[in-house]
Amino acid sequence: MIEMLQVVNEKDTVLDVKSRIECHEGKGLLHRATTVLLTNNQGQLLITKRSNKKDLWPGFWDTTASTHPSEFESYIDAAKRSLKTELGIKLELKQIDKFTYQADFNKTKAENEMCALFTGIYTGKLFPNQNEISEFTWISIDDLKKEIELKNNVSPWLVHAFNGYLKYTKSKI
């Protein structure tokens, strides 16, 4: 089945629906995406390594879970679906940010996303889907900052999501 994505403008108004392939060709078409950063009771963030089967950024460290809303799906429903599909968990989430970014991959593909960032607290067991995730780890904020500064195989949206998470947590202090 062809995955259809919501193409949007800078104000997040849906303009069209295009295939995932079309949305990622060249510099990419601006389309909706979701990403989730979960924390545990120790304040660590759950990050996942993308499966080597992924066509974009395989083997790169990612947020907890990421996906694109399908043609008629909301951001929150897509975020919850990604947690269930990628890690086998259900959780209430809170949207804390929305950002846009564009990143080239291998000169022929790109991400160009309007991305909603969600968070929640989770302390249970994880059931990673090996088609999506090759490994996962709980990481401290300081250690993730170091990994991002070193550019240690981190996806571009992880960087933006982490910055959004830091802005959110500073506003809670």
What per-residue confidence (pLDDT) applies to 62? 97
Buried b / exposed e along 46-81 (16+ C-beta atoms within 10 A): bbbbbbeebebbeebbbbbbbbbbbeebebbebbbb
State the DSSP code for 75: H
**Residue 13: partners with Cβ closer than 8 Å, 6 or more residues away:** none
Measure Cα distances from 107 to 20, 21, 24 in Å.
17, 15, 11
Query: Which one, of 96, 54, 68, 94, lies nearest residue 7 by Cα?
Result: 68
Structural domain harbouring 106: 4-171
Tell me what pLDDT residue 172 has: 54
pLDDT computed for residue 158 by the predictor: 97
Which residue ranges of the chain lie beneath pLDDT 70? 171-173
Tell me the CA distances in angstroms from 24 to 43, 67, 99, one per residue in order: 34, 13, 18
Q: In this predicted structure, what is the pLDDT of residue 112?
A: 98
Q: Which CATH number fits the domain that encloses residue 83?
A: 3.90.79.10
What is the structure's pLDDT at 171?
Answer: 65
DSSP 136-170: EEEE-HHHHHHHHHTT-SB-HHHHHHHHHHHHHHH
Q: What is the pLDDT of residue 173?
A: 41
For residue range 112-160, what is the model confidence (pLDDT) as tens digits? Answer: 999 999 999 999 999 999 999 999 999 999 999 999 998 879 999 999 9
* Tally of domains in the chain: 1
